[in-house]
Structure 1
């Protein structure tokens, strides 16, 4: 037997408990009303644990968790698998580094999804380091393969995607990390909405400070879509323009971001843009629990605070 094959974890009670714990967090934060949302963990080459359909995520038990193969066929569990598991599987197929996916409807981020308003960049240091640009995937009726495929053009270098008129989907190397991305995004969207209510324009970071944060992000081993996009404006929500094609979201609720040369235009880059250096971890592959405080300290230090 090949040494790189996984052992199936469809009977791993600890992983099932992890799904239930994240379900409680999602529900208690108001990210999933009633039976909304779904959670998965990949436990083998062809096995994925998932939350069942028609159950409140705040009240699941390990016995409720079921399992599917990578095509969405149910292979274990007493309850029927969620109808939206195909979304999770499409992300896992496109991004082999992803081991867990969380889909829910955080209210502040979903407000941006409903309005089709791009999430501004170059504003908050922690967002630049931990998130980067958050793309908006086009709307499709939930449940089918067309819906599942909507985030696929936007997955390179990111760990969270807004689903137009629907909610969010976030992903990482474990279920806590996948959930953590959703919590960061919704907190940021709430700050933006509160800022809008103050009636003053957003104050963007200048080019020097914005570039320092992206340099710090690369140094710390995080991926970012701006590392992969040729001639991408540093703050202009354009790293995913190939996915958007002619439907690039335009800022309307906030003042337009400044136009700074993209990260791929820094001195010494190849004509096709600066790619992620050898050895850089894929998005979400860093042990973030161990790095959060250290990164925050370095971010603030880089701003001279």
Structure 2
């Protein structure tokens, strides 16, 4: 039995290596993230909300789902991660180019799940640039503070350092993803948009999955981030209203603890109607998440 398992494991590794080699040579994937801008409805921008989505999630679809709930002077800068790799320098440049065009009075950074770790890298660069738009409002949604908060086997994350994805694994993952259960659709959920989000996640490609996994494995908050008081104003952490600790992907208690260590004023906000077991259902239930976002922004402004 052990020999059979050993042979199967060896064959699987060999298949992944060949698939990765084919992917690197023939399966062309882009390395640049894309940033889209949803303009303010009345043309005058007061707030710019930077959406940094979670693992294999498209920020542009989150922006579309949130748009009906935002204020008339809110613009959205949404990030779609590259097909291969997460490059914080390139993402930061594109986000700042968008903000220069919008010239907002207030910048809100919304980092969902893995997007919280991307937000951390963006804010480090923002601090280095001298905080050009003043302190940001930071909203973390079920975000890990590092790889130890992720509820996935460490060997799986470590494998992302050497496996870079390929066409065979991509097709296999798309088939598996189609069998997974869906989150119950909530207020504001649009079937067409939800279908597009699920299709995008299923076909994001193992190149994207592996490199995003590698990014998670190598990034997290540390002692130097304690200087964020000069960069971050109010900071909030969204989690499910029910069963928050049962999130399948993130240890929420550990995540809150890690972020609080560098953001002592972090306020935990339960998202009304959200079950923690669903893990950031932003497109499926946009009214809940966008409503919570607007509520904390109204609190910031004293309304």
Both structures adopt the same fold (TM-score exceeding 0.5)? no
Higher strand share goes to which structure?
2
The TM-score with structure 1 as length reference comes to 0.25
The TM-score with structure 2 as length reference comes to 0.25
- Larger RCO (CA within 8 A; separation ≥ 6): 2
Higher helix share goes to which structure?
2
